[in-house]
Structure 1
Amino acid sequence: MTQILVIAKEPVPGRVKSRLTPPFTPAQAAGLAEAALADTLECVAATPATQRVLALEGLPGPWLPPGFVVIPQRGGGLDERLAAAFADAHRLRPGPAVLIGMDTPQITPALLEAATGALSCHDAVYGPAADGGYWLLGLRVPDPALVLGVPMSRPDTGRAQLERLAGLRVFHLPELTDVDTAADARRVAAGAPGTRFAALHEISAGAPR
């Protein structure tokens, strides 16, 4: 079985989802980030795993369900923080690992089980994002060198990551949309109507600003 890692920021107004403002206020953007994080953690909690790890920048809050090991993020750039999360979780419990962020509240246990199960016969699992990045990376042998130096938050991030995985057996998951902009938020909320994120988006989108 595989462990599942979530890399996230504490949802503090002004420090998360700044690209949602405007049209949302910083407080509304932080609320949407918290809802997305809560949906993500609930999904991970419902998925079989050897260990569930939250690599967190900031402090845990009431949105954190039981059963997670919380570790601090390390490193400067996102590539360093991803590599450190893989390395630190592997030290805690060696074995395959799948890592996701807090920007895809539409994920389901079925998608995560497909990812974790694929590592029994593949070297890596890759979930592309619509913006050119990726929403999931799984490694049968969590090697930080497979992530370090990959340019992040760019339209070619996904292509660069796949080039780093060249020569490995890679299982590909469906493309999902990360919540980065207000348009992304509308799209994700419409596609995941039963989530906290969708419910709060409906309220926030209609609230006076």
Structure 2
Amino acid sequence: MTSTATLLVIAKAPVPGRVKTRLTPPFTPAEAARLAEAALRDTLDAALAAPVRRRLLVLEGAPGPWLPAGFDVVRQRGDGLDERLAAAFEDAAADGPALLVGMDTPQLAALPGLLAPALAPDAWQECDAWFGPAEDGGFWALGLAAPDPALLRGVPMSTPFTGAAQRARLTEAGLRVRDLPRVLDVDTARDAERVAALAPGGRFAAEHRRLTPAVRGGAA
């Protein structure tokens, strides 16, 4: 059965020097962009497979040949990440419940059960928000039954306490929050290695295998 939710994917176009800069070194900016594109394509595959009513790509940059059919595309708006996330929910607010993920968890394509609770037919019964904590202290997924940009604006981003602060913002607003599994997202080269091992059949893992021998060879 199709969920009533809109699935938002917030992403950057995979342009060298603009994405996954924490992967350099050991990867070059071009290699980091190739990994980012693979991660994005896996994430979009996961979104296409998800039983949702609408799919929205919230993009910084221009769409490329990596974008499949089936997505509406809107530009990211705002300065800080909190403003961009808030604007993404604002763009979806008229459509009912919205569930947002980023492009840093390509294992979602191979592990659809990670998102399944928030996409179930009864996902929003006695539930106002879904929260997916990340291993680094952030969050990888956020769902709101009634998208309200104010729930994100001002939350400190990219800190070890971002996830705790965001979840606290939800509960302080009186929302009933359910949690998704804790997930590793790709920030560093070590993260990339671990995520590739979690989903060895995905595009991200294949690209990681292609690039890793070159990285090791260059470091020898």
TM, length-normalised to structure 1: 0.96
8 Å contact from structure 2 (residues 92, 147) kept in 1: no
Find 2:180's aligned residue among 173, 181, 201. 173
Equivalent residue, structure 2, for 1:125: 130
**3-state DSSP class of the match of 1:160?**
helix
Give the superposition deviation at 1:162. Answer: 0.9
8 Å contact from structure 1 (residues 128, 174) kept in 2: yes
Structure 1 gap segments, 5+ residues each = none
Pairing 1:75–2:78 present: yes
Equivalent residue, structure 2, for 1:103: 104
Q: How far, CA to CA, are the matches of 1:50 and 1:90 in structure 2? A: 14
Pairing 1:57–2:60 present: yes
8 Å contact from structure 1 (residues 74, 80) kept in 2: yes
Equivalent residue, structure 2, for 1:115: 118
Q: How far, CA to CA, are the matches of 1:50 and 1:103 in structure 2? A: 23
Equivalent residue, structure 2, for 1:149: 154
Q: How far, CA to CA, are the matches of 1:96 and 1:76 in structure 2? A: 25
Q: How far, CA to CA, are the matches of 2:66 and 2:93 in structure 1? A: 25
Give the superposition deviation at 1:171. Answer: 1.0
Q: How far, CA to CA, are the matches of 1:137 and 1:90 in structure 2? A: 14
8 Å contact from structure 1 (residues 4, 49) kept in 2: yes
Q: How far, CA to CA, are the matches of 1:109 and 1:64 in structure 2? A: 20
Matched pairs, number: 207
8 Å contact from structure 2 (residues 134, 185) kept in 1: yes
Give the superposition deviation at 1:114. Answer: 1.6
8 Å contact from structure 1 (residues 147, 161) kept in 2: yes
1:189-200 correspondence to structure 2 within 5 Å: 189-200=196-207
Q: How far, CA to CA, are the matches of 1:101 and 1:180 in structure 2? A: 12
Give the superposition deviation at 1:113. Answer: 2.8
Pairing 1:163–2:168 present: yes
Give the superposition deviation at 1:115. Answer: 1.5
1:81-100 correspondence to structure 2 within 5 Å: 81-91=84-94, 94-100=95-101
8 Å contact from structure 1 (residues 97, 116) kept in 2: no
Q: How far, CA to CA, are the matches of 1:3 and 1:109 in structure 2? A: 16
Equivalent residue, structure 2, for 1:14: 17
Stretch of structure 1 that moved more, 43-52 or 115-124: 115-124
Stretch of structure 1 that moved more, 120-129 or 4-13: 120-129
Give the superposition deviation at 1:112. Answer: 2.4
Structure 2 gap segments, 5+ residues each = none
Equivalent residue, structure 2, for 1:134: 139
1:25-44 correspondence to structure 2 within 5 Å: 25-44=28-47
8 Å contact from structure 1 (residues 48, 113) kept in 2: no
